[in-house]
Structure 1
C-alpha cells in the first residue's frame, strides 16, 4: 500500500491549529466517572454517548470551513464519495468504486444505490454533481482551489458521476475523502444555504440535533448512514478544547469521557486511571514565513531562520517529547516523507549568524513574530532567535481574525501555526506552497516545484514510481520554500475505561466500532 504509514513518532496536539489547522445539558445518557450511562440501541448492543472534549468547527458548511482541523467534526455529519482508511488511503464510501480512463484525465464514480441524506432526499448522481459544483463555483468557496483540475462534473446515470479533468490527476479519490469532497444535500443549500453554517445536512454517521456556538454540539446516530452497522454509539457530543489544567478533573467528573490532552498531562491521566492513546497524525508545527516581506525576501535571512531554531528543545518543552523533530510537512514512515531531509536544518546558531552577516545584518535585525497566543512556542522561539541576533517582537492577534490578517492581507512576517495535513499529498503541497496556497503568504512558488507537484498528480497512487516522485517533490519544497517546520504533533486522547479503544486514524479521526459500556 503506497500511502501506508509504517511508523510515526508520538505526541500531543498542544494547541489548536486554525488551518491546518473546539454537549449536552439534557442528555439522558450522561456518563459519570463510574462509567454509567450505557444504553441499548434499536440496532442492539451496548452503546451510549461519547462526550468528546476536542474542538468545534469554524462552520458546519464544508465549503466555508476555514480550518483544516474542522474535518474531524465535519466527518461526523458528512460523507464523501470516498473516505480514508487508517493509513490515509482512499477507499469507497458513498461510491462503491471508481475507474480512471487511460489518460488519467477522467474519473468515473459508481454510487451505492438507495442512499439518502439526513433530510430524506436521495443521494443520486445529480445530487453529487450539484454538491461538487457548489464547491467548485461558489464565489466564496474555500475548497474551489482544491478542485481546480475538475473541468466538469456529469451525472451520466442515476448512479454514475463522471469528473472530467483539465489534466491527469490521480489524487482525486484522496482529495474527495476530506472537506473538499463532502457531499451536502442540494435540498438544503438550494433552500437555505446560509443555514448550513449551523445546521448541516449531509449523510454522515451522525446528525446534528442541537448546536450552541463555542459551547457544544449534540448529535445522534444516523440510521441511514451507508456504514451504519459499524456505528455503535447512539449519541455523540462535542465540546471545545478543554483547558489543560482542568482536563483530567473534567474526565474524572464525567464532563467528558474522551478528551484531547497535552503531553504535559499524560502522566496525570494515567495516574487517574484513564486510558491514554497516542495516535499518529499528519499535523506538524510550523512557522509560516512571508518571503515577499523584508527581511525574508532575502533568501539568506530566511535560511538563517532554519538554523536558528532548536527544534529538539521545542519538542521537549512544548510537547514533553511526544512527537518527532521535523524539517518537512510529512511524518516519518508516510509515503511523502523524504528521509534525506530529516536533518536538513540542524540547530546551528553560528551558521545562522554567518548567514545574517552575509545578508548585511551582522549587528542583528528586528522582526515581528505574530501568533494567536503568546505563551509557549512564540516565547521559546523568541528566545532562540535572540541568541543569533534576531529581535522578535511578539504580536498577538485574535484567532478569529488570523486567516484574514495573515493569509488574506499577507501583512505579517512570521506566524506560528500548525499544519493539519490534508487528505491528498498534492493538496498539502498546494495549501503550503502553491501560488494561491492559504499557508503561503508570500504567494510565490518556484517553477520547478510547480512542475514537481504536477508530476505527483500525474502519477497513479499504485505506481511503483509514486513514492519516489512524491519524496522528490518534498525534498525540493523544503529546500526552496521558507516554511520552518518544527515537529510532528500526533493526537493524544485520554478516555474513561468505559469507552472502548478509539481507532488510530492517521488523517481524520473516526469512531467506527467505538462503544460505551
Structure 2
C-alpha cells in the first residue's frame, strides 16, 4: 500500500467504522496449482494471476457506465487519491492536499517523477487536462461529479490547485475513484474514442491484449509509483460467463482467483479452495422509474417497499451472505442511518391497502426487466404477487441493462446492484440526484438538494457532517422509489498458492498479492 505520509492539514474523516462485519475465511487445504507461466507479452517465466471477474464496459474511466468497472480500471489507471480500509482518503498520485480556509479550492502535491506507462510525464499539466476532459467531454459520465470544478490551475510540475465554484469538502474522496483516474492527454488528444479499448494510464499494469467479451491480458508496469508492492509479472482478467462453473474453473487452473456465487461457497471449501469475504459498499436494489405508470404514484412505490421480504431474499438468493438493508449505505458506513432499519417490514397486507388507496383494488400488472431470470428475479416475482403486484419477467441481454435502464430510461422495474462510490455525496447523487444514473425518473426533492449542499460545504471533521449524511439518506429512502434489499460482500475463491487478497470497501486491489510454490 501507499507509504507516503498524509499532509497534516488534510481534512479527512472516517467513513466506515472498523469493518468487522465480514472477515476473511481462510482454509489451508490443498488444491490445484497457481499459474507460473507468463501471459503474452509478459516476462518469460514470470507469474501470471488469472482473475475470474467481469470486463469493464469501457477502458476509459470518463465514459465507464458501470460502478464495478472501477475494479478493473484500477489495474491500468492510478487515481489522484486512494481510499483505505476505513474509507478515508489517502495518498495516491498525490502525496497530500490542503484546503483554502473558505473551502473553495484545494491544493494537491504530486509525487515527483511520475510517468504514464508509455513514458510520458504525468505532471500537473497532465492532471489538469485529464480532469477538465472529464468535466467537459460531451459523452462524459463523470461530468456531473466535476461540475463544481471551475478550473484546475498548474502551480508547478508537481503542484496543482482545484478551484471550485463553491466550497466542496468531498473532493479528496471523489478523486479516489474513476473521477480521479488520470488519463494520458497524449492518448485522448489524438483519439479520445480509442481510449475505450486502449487504456492510457499509469497503473500497476498495462493492457497487452484484449479479446472483447472474453479476456484481457495485462503486463506489469515498471514505472508504477508503487511498483515495489506489485509482485505479479502479468495479469489476466477473464470474464466469468457461467458462474456455476467457477469452482471447476479454479480446480482446472482456468482461474487463480474468481468471483464466487454465494451458493458455491461450500463446494469451493470442499474443493480445497480458500474463501475471502471482503466487506464492500454493494447493496442489492430494485430500480424503479417513477415516471412510468403505475409507479408515478408514490403509494404504488411505497407498496413495493412493503411487498418484499428482504430477509427471505437474502437467505434464498444470497444464501444468507450479507445483511438486510433498506438504504444505500451498508452498516458501519458513516452515512448509514440506524433509525431506518425497521422502516419497511415485510407486510403484503399493507402493500395491498396502499395499492387500493392508489386506485388499484385488484392489484397491478407490470413487467420485471432482468438479464438473469433465475434466482432473485423469480423470488421477487413470487413475493410481489402475494401483495397484488403481478409481474411478467422480461429477459434482456445483460449488456443492454445500462442502456435501457440508465440511458433510455424506459424500464419501469428492474433488479440491480449498487456498488457504492468513493465519496458519500457522489453515492447519494448517483441514486437520488437529478442526473443520477440510478434515478431514472430524474425526480429529486428540493429538501434533498438542500441537504446535498449542506454535505458538500461541511468539512469532514465537522461534528455535524455525519448527521447531514444520514438525514439525506432518510429523505431519499422515504421519498424516492428505489427499493433497497440487502448488502453483500465481495466473495472470492482462490487457489491456496495465491496469498490473501487486500481488503477495501470500494476497490478490489492486488497490491502485495503473490503466487507461491507449495
Report the TM-score range of the alignment, normalised by the length of the smaller protein.
over 0.9
Query: Does residue 456 of structure 1 match 2:455?
Result: yes
Q: Any idea what the Cα deviations from partners look like across 1:127-171, whole Å, max 9, x if unmatched?
A: 110111111101111111111111111112211111111111111
Query: Does residue 342 of structure 1 match 2:354?
Result: no
Instruction: Give every structure 1 segment of 4 or more consecutive aligned residues whose post-TM-superposition deviation is greater than 6 Å.
Output: none
User: Aligned residue for 2:170?
Assistant: 171
Q: Any idea what the Cα deviations from partners look like across 1:267-319, whole Å, max 9, x if unmatched?
A: 11111111001011001110111112211111111111100000111101110
User: Aligned residue for 2:189?
Assistant: 190
Tell me the distance in 2 between the aligned counterparts of 1:364 and 1:210.
53
Tell me the distance in 1 between the aligned counterparts of 2:46 and 2:160.
36
What 5-or-longer segments of structure 2 have no aligned partner? Answer: 1-12, 25-30, 39-44
Q: Kindly tell me: are residues 459 and 360 of structure 1, through their superposed partners in 2, closer, same or farther at Cα, counting changes over 3 Å? A: same
What is the RMSD of the two structures over their aligned residues, measured on CA atoms?
Answer: 1.8
Where in structure 2 are the equivalents of 1:99-178 lying within 5 Å? 99-178=98-177
Residues paired across the two proteins, number: 493
Tell me the distance in 1 between the aligned counterparts of 2:310 and 2:393.
19
Query: Does residue 443 of structure 1 match 2:433?
Result: no
| Deviation (angstroms), 1:399 | 2.3
Where in structure 2 are the equivalents of 1:204-283 lying within 5 Å? 204-283=203-282
Tell me the distance in 2 between the aligned counterparts of 1:229 and 1:149.
36
Tell me the distance in 2 between the aligned counterparts of 1:473 and 1:447.
11
Q: Any idea what the Cα deviations from partners look like across 1:414-434, whole Å, max 9, x if unmatched?
A: 111111111111001111001
| Deviation (angstroms), 1:218 | 0.9
Contact kept, 8 Å, 2:35 with 2:48, in 1: the verdict is: no
| Deviation (angstroms), 1:9 | 4.6
Q: Any idea what the Cα deviations from partners look like across 1:466-485, whole Å, max 9, x if unmatched?
A: 22221111122111111000
Tell me the distance in 2 between the aligned counterparts of 1:7 and 1:204.
26
Tell me the distance in 2 between the aligned counterparts of 1:10 and 1:433.
28
Contact kept, 8 Å, 2:35 with 2:253, in 1: the verdict is: no
Q: Kindly tell me: are residues 8 and 352 of structure 1, through their superposed partners in 2, closer, same or farther at Cα, counting changes over 3 Å? A: farther
Contact kept, 8 Å, 2:274 with 2:494, in 1: the verdict is: yes
Tell me the distance in 1 between the aligned counterparts of 2:277 and 2:197.
31
Contact kept, 8 Å, 1:84 with 1:507, in 2: the verdict is: yes
Q: Kindly tell me: are residues 35 and 442 of structure 1, through their superposed partners in 2, closer, same or farther at Cα, counting changes over 3 Å? A: closer
User: Aligned residue for 1:29?
Assistant: none
- TM-score where L is the length of structure 1: 0.92
Query: Does residue 6 of structure 1 match 2:18?
Result: yes
Decide which moves more: 352-361 or 311-320. 352-361
- TM-score where L is the length of structure 2: 0.92
| Deviation (angstroms), 1:498 | 0.3
- Where 1:460 maps in the other structure, the secondary structure is coil
User: Aligned residue for 2:482?
Assistant: 483
Query: Does residue 63 of structure 1 match 2:75?
Result: no
Tell me the distance in 2 between the aligned counterparts of 1:148 and 1:66.
18
Q: Any idea what the Cα deviations from partners look like across 1:79-127, whole Å, max 9, x if unmatched?
A: 0111111222111111111111011111111111111000110011111
Q: Any idea what the Cα deviations from partners look like across 1:316-357, whole Å, max 9, x if unmatched?
A: 111000000110000111111111111110101111111111
Tell me the distance in 2 between the aligned counterparts of 1:332 and 1:36.
37
- Where 1:238 maps in the other structure, the secondary structure is strand
User: Aligned residue for 1:22?
Assistant: none
